[in-house]
């Protein structure tokens, strides 16, 4: 109740009526809050710029009974460098889509928030890189408690040279534990997944670009499992990476 102030990233805007939007914001405290931005679809609206997707800003909203209303908004970081590039904004849309789908209202997922900010800041100054995008998605899953192990069988603990990805078990499983598991992954694939989980974003830019395609297939299957197939924004890659 009353006025609340948060800083956070805009992760979704849903049109309401003729001129308003229901906005979802992933806050620096790791929660997803929703508020109505009145008139924010009108050209002259003062709020319009501050509630665009992947704006990082400060938002003051008033909550009483029903939906809170946005009173004031200030842009802290607009990520103009990301917006000027189609592949980079595609990656940013996919990043905020994951936040919208996987962050609950009172989640307190501050590690996930810091990670998505770190990725957007990295994108702001560098070229789009497929392996970095997948590393971000793998780490984002890990920050939410879905850290996957690719060095040992996730079921019996035996060291793995090759195996099958099986997300419900927590990573990859050995031939003996295979069960219903899906995607086969060889030694190079396993070491790629470990590198994507462990190296920092800059460190991944030196890897063989030929690894981008298998890396994307592995992480797509993880994200598909985590979101129950609800993500759509990763489709930008079919345009920019020829998938």
Contacting residues toward Zn ion, per CB under 5 A: 153, 155-156, 158, 174, 177
Nearer to Zn ion, 131 or 153 (CB): 153
How many Å is the Cα radius of gyration of the chain?
A: 20
72 forms beta bridges with 60
CA distance 36 to 54: 17
Distance of CA 103 to the CA centre of its chain: 10
Least gap, CB of 141 to Zn ion (angstroms): 21
Least gap, CB of 170 to Zn ion (angstroms): 12
Nearer to Zn ion, 51 or 193 (CB): 193
CA distance 217 to 140: 17
Least gap, CB of 158 to Zn ion (angstroms): 5
Nearer to Zn ion, 96 or 174 (CB): 174
Nearer to Zn ion, 177 or 190 (CB): 177
The beta-strand segments (E) located in the chain are: 2-16, 20-27, 32-37, 56-63, 69-77, 163-166, 171-173, 184-185
Nearer to Zn ion, 165 or 177 (CB): 177
End-to-end CA distance of the chain: 48
Least gap, CB of 174 to Zn ion (angstroms): 3
Least gap, CB of 173 to Zn ion (angstroms): 5
């Amino acid at each position: 109740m009353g006025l609340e102030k948060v800083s956070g990233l805009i992760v979704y805007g849903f049109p309401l009526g003729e001129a308003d939007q229901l906005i979802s914001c992933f806050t620096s405290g790791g929660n997803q809050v929703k508020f109505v931005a009145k008139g924010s679809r009108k050209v002259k609206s003062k709020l319009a710029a501050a509630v665009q997707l992947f704006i990082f800003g400060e938002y003051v909203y008033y909550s009483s009974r029903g939906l809170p209303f946005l009173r004031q908004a200030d842009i802290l970081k607009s990520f103009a460098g990301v917006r000027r590039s189609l592949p980079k904004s595609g990656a940013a849309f996919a990043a905020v889509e994951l936040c919208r789908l996987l962050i609950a209202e009172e989640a307190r997922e501050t590690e996930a928030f810091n990670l998505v900010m770190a990725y957007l800041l990295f994108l702001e100054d560098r070229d789009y890189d497929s392996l970095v995008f997948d590393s971000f998605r793998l780490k984002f899953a890990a920050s939410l408690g879905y850290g996957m192990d690719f060095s040992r069988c996730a079921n019996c603990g035996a060291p793995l040279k090759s195996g099958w990805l099986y997300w419900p078990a927590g990573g990859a499983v050995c031939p003996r534990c295979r069960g219903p598991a899906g995607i086969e992954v060889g030694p190079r694939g396993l070491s790629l997944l470990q590198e994507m989980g462990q190296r920092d974003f800059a460190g991944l830019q030196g890897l063989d670009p030929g690894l981008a395609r298998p890396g994307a297939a592995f992480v797509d299957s993880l994200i598909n499992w985590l979101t129950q197939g609800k993500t759509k924004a990763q489709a930008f890659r079919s345009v920019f990476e020829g998938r």
